[in-house]
Amino acid sequence: MTAIRSLRPLRIAMIAPPWFTVPPQGYGGVENMCADLVDGLVDRGHEVTLIGAGPAGTRAGRFLTTYAEPPSGRLGEPLPEVLHTAAVARILAGLDVDLVHDHTLAGPLSARGRGVPTVVTMHGPVAGEPGEYYRQLGDTVALVAISAAQRRAAPDLAWRGTVHNAIDVTTFPYCADKGEMVLFLGRLHPDKGVHLAIDAARAAGLPIVVAGKCSEPVELEYFRTFIEPRLGPDVTIFGTADAATKRELLARAAALVFPIQWDEPFGMVMIEAMACGTPVVALRRGAVPEVVVDGVTGIVCDDLSGLPAAITAARNLSAAECRAHVEDCFDAATMVGGYESVYREVLQPRLPIRRSDVLIPVAPRSRPTPTAATA
């Protein structure tokens, strides 16, 4: 048995991006993460106010919306997030909270002079101009990295912790009996290497299903230039998959192909695939080596030429090991505990441990054996 110190519940304002509902109906990795974090914090007794767009979808005690309908069709334009940030600042002025946790890009600009700390999760790149942006913010925010790889890209920033993204594993179906296809799931963007996934699947002799958002100008141009010429009977373009269909595709796939072309700081789809018992075939970029156990839950390749053989090899990996890895390392409860620790550290000077605090015994968390289910 271990013990944890019981501290008073926190009052947290959680700021989600405005682009999709929380949780999203389809695309929206940040929104999925926010939903799981909010629900986990509420389950632990914290008082959470969620500020986002669209209707309420979490167990937050209070939900305040800045857009009746998320401006999803304007994703990539600056003004919707600026308006969202202005509305959030006005809302926060009327709230009594201990801490603000912001998941937006523009939101941290309003942290200076705020009477409570602002924790910011870095969901995107931190090299180049993004890193310089956060350097200018200085100690007005407490930054949380989502991987060690991301933190290494800008070690001088005001980091207060590293917390991997996570999922509620119980919401993903485990399936040991895989189909005769591989899957690409994500934005149809040059950074994602969709055309490379098609080439690798074709070289491995397996059909591929390509499911993902393709709406922004850069995505549409990429589709016309690189994906359309590769279409054939062995390529199925699915479009954006909703939450249920995404899980069905992930559970059926023999492997998820992830030929990322930039140093992505995490990659939620990798843990979603492994939760379904599906191995990941990926290039060694960004956080991939932190997320995938090479030779156990997937195959990590050093160059493109290794992808076809990796797809073949991945089919021999254990679905149960894939599921267990996510349960042990990337379940939402682990993420929630990580953020609780960051919050307490940031607030420590403001919320000292009281004499009345007690130690509560907690039993070690056990991992259930996966139960096969058909997708």
Q: Phi, psi at residue 361, to the nearest 5°?
A: -70, 140
Residue whose C-alpha is closest to residue 131's, from 112, 154, 151, 115: 154
Tell me the pLDDT of the chain averaged across its residues: 91
* Rounded average pLDDT over 243-261: 97
Alpha carbons 143 and 333: distance in angstroms, whole number: 20
Q: How far is CA 175 from the centre of its chain?
A: 22
- Which of 1-5, 63-67, 82-86, 272-276 has the weakest average pLDDT? 1-5
Predicted confidence at residue 348, as pLDDT, reads: 87
Full DSSP string of 48-99? EEEEEESS--S--SEEEEEESS--GGGTT-SHHHHHHHHHHHHHHHT---SE
Q: Which helix (H) or strand (E) holds 149?
A: helix 148-153
Per residue in 294-344, pLDDT tens?
Answer: 999 999 999 999 999 999 999 999 999 999 999 999 999 999 999 999 999
Full DSSP string of 228-297? GGG-STTEEEEE---HHHHHHHHHH-S-EEE--SS--S--HHHHHHHHTT--EEEES-TTHHHHS-BTTT
Alpha carbons 165 and 28: distance in angstroms, whole number: 13
pLDDT > 70 fraction of the chain, expressed in percent and rounded: 91
Q: Phi, psi at residue 327, to the nearest 5°?
A: -60, -40
Per residue in 116-127, pLDDT tens?
Answer: 999 999 999 999
Higher local confidence (pLDDT), 372 or 134: 134
* Rounded average pLDDT over 16-34: 91
The answer for residues whose C-beta is within 8 angstroms of residue 375's C-beta and 6 or more apart is 173, 175, 247, 248, 249, 250, 251, 252, 276
Alpha carbons 330 and 8: distance in angstroms, whole number: 26
Flag whether pLDDT at 360 surpasses 50. no
Query: Contact 253/273 with Cβ under 8 angstroms?
Result: yes
Q: Are strands 142-145 and 159-162 parallel, antiparallel or unpaired?
A: parallel
Per residue in 132-180, pLDDT tens?
Answer: 999 999 999 999 999 999 999 999 999 999 999 999 999 999 999 999 9
Predicted confidence at residue 1, as pLDDT, reads: 39
Predicted confidence at residue 362, as pLDDT, reads: 36
